[in-house]
Amino acid sequence: MKFAHIVPVGYSYIADTYNDMHLLLYHWALESKEYVDFMSRSKVYKILDNSQFELREEVDYDDVIRYAKRMKVQEVVAPDVMYNFKRTKELIEQFLPKVPKGMKIQGVVCGETFNDLYDCYVYLQRNELIDVVSFSKHGCSKASDLGHYGARQSVMKQLNFGFPDSKKKKEIHMLGVNGFQDFLTSNVRSIDGKFLAKLSYDDKHIDWDTSLDPSQLIGAMRVLQHLR
């Protein structure tokens, strides 16, 4: 599994050293020119998230693409409306023609019920323009009573085993970390999250300008590297 640890802007140099890839946040790019400039120079594989969950509203996807180009990302997260497959699909269909040729597209599994999640998963797996399928940190919780961690793990396993086109499965990304156990998930390409940054900040909210102890952050990243 590849790691994409999200850290405040002032510690991007640490993430650039230890990350296998970066998960860039659109709303941080709006806040910090330093973030945009640093990440545009980074040679690490980059994914731009649309920040729709963080902003709690549908965003300007033309602007998301502008930032994707400016930050020279290799992959962009398509629109996703948590617990709403129908609206997610509508927005994805509008978004796909906007994405530059050669830039990969990640689609997020969205839905309120298990059947919704299944339909979304099949749609993303069978859509030839979608390259990577992802499961968000909280996105499966309404379909299960197992909590955020258990719900995502359970749904992922059921969908992967139940998908009829078993030979055509796409790479899987996990958006966000619910707990340390997520790092041990098998058959997943990559995972992102602020988990290690929170460990370095007493599990408090992490924003683009949060101050951390860099030695603690580096230590946590080194430990996790040795465990895989």
pLDDT in tens, 59-103: 999 999 999 999 999 999 999 999 999 999 999 999 999 999 999
Quick check: 28 and 46 in contact, CB under 8 A?
A: no
Domain that holds residue 203: 2-227
CATH of the domain at 165: 3.20.20.105
pTM summary value: 0.93
pLDDT tens-digit map of 10-30: 999 999 999 999 999 999 999
Q: How confident is the model at residue 49, as a pLDDT?
A: 98
Domain count, the chain: 1
